[in-house]
């Protein structure tokens, strides 16, 4: 229940910032590794009103193992892929205005290159602002198994990435803990907004 309360609290905070409007986005955290049990936000729920008891428990095939009537998010397969490939403890997915704009603006370059910002130091394992973070951009799709496979390939190609963007869709990030995942989202959202506003100014 503590994990569920944590996810609900993060959801409420991000909704207030406008990063999870209109029931968009989703959140998960690992409850148990073997066999995998993930606390997952249900589909179509207002994230500003998410209650801990609404979090679903799903297995590694995205099937509900708790007694809920709800439906897990369509994107559960992506969460499971990230948890496995990155050994993540939590995965967060936001839809902000700035991540949506930059996911399209940098699509032809295959990703957003961010470097030279002190804020990068908040990403796990980064020790200096002289770090280059490459945030890959993946074409959006409604075919979730195919998209999960593409996410797996991207994670494999970009081992150092702390997140990725789905084009005209949103941002995914993760962490060993929910607190780390939340920190990563806040940092990446900050950096995308900073680059977006800088880019526009310099045009």
Contact residues for its own copies, defined by CB under 8 A: 13, 17-18, 21-24, 46, 48, 95, 97, 100-101, 104-105, 116-119, 122, 127-130, 140, 142, 166, 168-170, 179, 182-184, 186-187, 189-190, 193-194, 196-201, 203
Q: If we measure between CA atoms, which residue out of 130, 180, 184 comes closest to residue 161?
A: 184
Q: For its own copies, give the closer residue by CB, 122 or 152.
A: 122
Contact 15, 7 (CB under 8 A): no
Region of residue 184 (left: phi > 0; alpha: psi -120 to 50; beta: else): alpha
Q: For its own copies, give the closer residue by CB, 164 or 189.
A: 189
Q: For its own copies, give the closer residue by CB, 23 or 28.
A: 23
CA–CA dist 14, 12 (Å, integer) = 6
Tell the smallest beta-carbon distance from residue 65 to its own copies (Å).
26
Tell the smallest beta-carbon distance from residue 200 to its own copies (Å).
4
> What is the three-class DSSP state of 188?
helix
Tell the smallest beta-carbon distance from residue 24 to its own copies (Å).
6
Contact 178, 29 (CB under 8 A): yes
């Amino acid at each position: 229940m503590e994990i569920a309360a944590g996810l609900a609290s993060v959801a409420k905070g991000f909704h207030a910032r406008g990063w999870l409007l209109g029931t968009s986005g989703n959140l998960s955290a690992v409850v148990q590794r073997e066999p995998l049990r993930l606390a997952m936000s249900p589909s179509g729920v207002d994230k500003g009103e998410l209650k801990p008891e609404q979090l679903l428990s799903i297995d590694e095939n995205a099937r509900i193992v708790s007694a809920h009537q709800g439906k897990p998010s369509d994107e559960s397969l992506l969460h499971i892929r990230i948890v496995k490939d990155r050994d993540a403890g939590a995965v967060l997915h936001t839809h902000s205005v700035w991540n949506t704009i930059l996911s399209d603006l940098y699509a032809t370059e295959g990703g957003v290159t961010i470097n030279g910002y002190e804020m990068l130091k908040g990403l796990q394992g980064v020790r200096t602002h002289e770090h280059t973070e490459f945030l890959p951009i993946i074409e959006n799709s409604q075919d979730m198994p195919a998209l999960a496979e593409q996410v797996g390939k991207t994670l494999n190609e970009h081992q150092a990435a702390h997140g990725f963007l789905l084009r005209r869709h949103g941002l995914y990030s993760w962490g060993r803990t929910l607190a780390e995942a939340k920190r990563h989202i806040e940092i990446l959202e900050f950096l995308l907004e900073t680059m977006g506003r800088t880019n526009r100014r310099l045009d």
